[in-house]
């Protein structure tokens, strides 16, 4: 009996350090940040009142939603296309898609943003190309604006869309696609009426994951937006390190966290509903 207990104890000793460490280094400070949001600069809900009523913050939040939604839709669409080729195309094609998805994913976010800065710059490759073709006569401003931010975020998020989408496509019985073709449905009809409905859980998952990621990251928007298109995460950074307004930064973080918690709950609920249907 004693031996069993001591084994159980030793096993618990293996498990314990990491959760304890994270509780100390992450859990407690998280509580501290939430505390900041109601104590800095003065105790009370002033920071939250500001989040709700300040027109410039409202503009910033609306811009965040708009940019994140458009980036998410584009990233999921491109991800869907790539997942389709990754799962259903021939071997060599699968390899090419795999490399195209994995290599950028592992490249530093800074290098990727910098790459777009070069590619989209006034004397960049895209402008040069468009001018030599004759589509445009002078360089078009394509960086330091919302367009660049969306391009950069879509580029960053495509791999994260590909994973849930391709895993839901792998679960599909391929014979349903063949059956549709056999019954005379065209390619597009098969796509919309057979493939898309079966991948709805994956689509929803990809959409929520990408959207949540978009809300939270600030490196790409900060570099490609050039200060004109501040989104919530960059706003938090500026509040903390440029205006020293820690309470407001913390309050915005809490709002963001609550919103993301809501999305996560939605994702869990949606996946359970799906299990019920099956």
For another protein, the binding residues in 98-127 under the rule CB under 8 A are 100-104, 106-119, 121, 123-125
User: Which residue bears the tokens 């065209």?
Assistant: 186
Distance separating alpha carbons of residues 24 and 46, to the nearest angstrom? 29
Rule CB under 8 A: choose which of 61, 68, 97, 142 binds another protein: 97
Q: Residue 84 contacts by C-beta under 8 Å, 6 or more apart in sequence?
A: 169, 195
Distance separating alpha carbons of residues 33 and 83, to the nearest angstrom? 39
Rule CB under 8 A: choose which of 38, 131, 140, 260 binds another protein: 260
* Smallest distance, another protein to C-beta of residue 93, A: 7
* C-beta closer to another protein: residue 258 or 277: 258
* Smallest distance, another protein to C-beta of residue 21, A: 7
Which residues in the 185-244 window bind another protein by CB under 8 A? Answer: 186-188, 190-191, 212-213, 215-219, 222-223, 233, 236-237, 240-241
Question: Closest Cα partner for 155 from 209, 112, 200?
Answer: 112
Rule CB under 8 A: choose which of 65, 78, 131, 140 binds another protein: 78
Radius of gyration of the chain (CA): 24
User: Which residue bears the tokens 């440029």?
Assistant: 242
Which residues in the 25-54 window bind another protein by CB under 8 A? Answer: 25-26, 28-30, 32-33, 36
**Measured between alpha carbons, how far apart are the two ends of the chain, in Å?**
45
* C-beta closer to another protein: residue 16 or 193: 16
């Amino acid at each position: 009996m004693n031996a069993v207990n001591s084994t159980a104890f030793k096993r618990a000793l293996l498990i314990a350090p990491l959760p304890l460490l994270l509780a100390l280094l992450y859990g407690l400070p998280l509580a501290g940040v939430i505390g900041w949001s109601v104590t800095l600069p003065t105790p009370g809900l002033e920071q939250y009142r500001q989040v709700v009523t300040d027109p410039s913050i409202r503009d910033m939040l609306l811009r965040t939603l708009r940019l994140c939604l458009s980036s998410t839709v584009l990233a999921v669409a491109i991800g869907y296309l790539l997942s389709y080729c990754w799962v259903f195309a021939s071997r060599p094609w699968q390899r090419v898609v795999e490399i195209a998805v994995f290599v950028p994913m592992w490249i530093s976010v800074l290098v990727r943003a910098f790459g777009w800065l070069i590619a989209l710059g006034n004397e960049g490759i895209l402008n040069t190309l468009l001018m030599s073709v004759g589509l445009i006569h002078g360089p078009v401003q394509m960086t330091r604006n919302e367009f660049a931010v969306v391009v950069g975020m879509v580029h960053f998020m495509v791999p994260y869309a590909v994973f849930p989408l391709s895993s839901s496509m792998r679960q599909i019985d391929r014979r349903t696609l063949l059956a549709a073709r056999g019954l005379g449905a065209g390619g597009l009809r098969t796509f919309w009426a057979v493939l898309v409905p079966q991948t709805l859980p994956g689509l929803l998952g990809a959409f929520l994951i990408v959207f949540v990621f978009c809300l939270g990251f600030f490196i790409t928007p900060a570099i490609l937006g050039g200060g004109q298109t501040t989104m919530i995460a960059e706003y938090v950074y500026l509040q903390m390190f440029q205006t020293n307004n820690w309470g407001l930064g913390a309050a915005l973080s809490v709002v963001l966290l609550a919103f993301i918690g809501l999305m996560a709950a939605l994702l869990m609920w949606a996946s359970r509903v799906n299990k019920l249907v099956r």
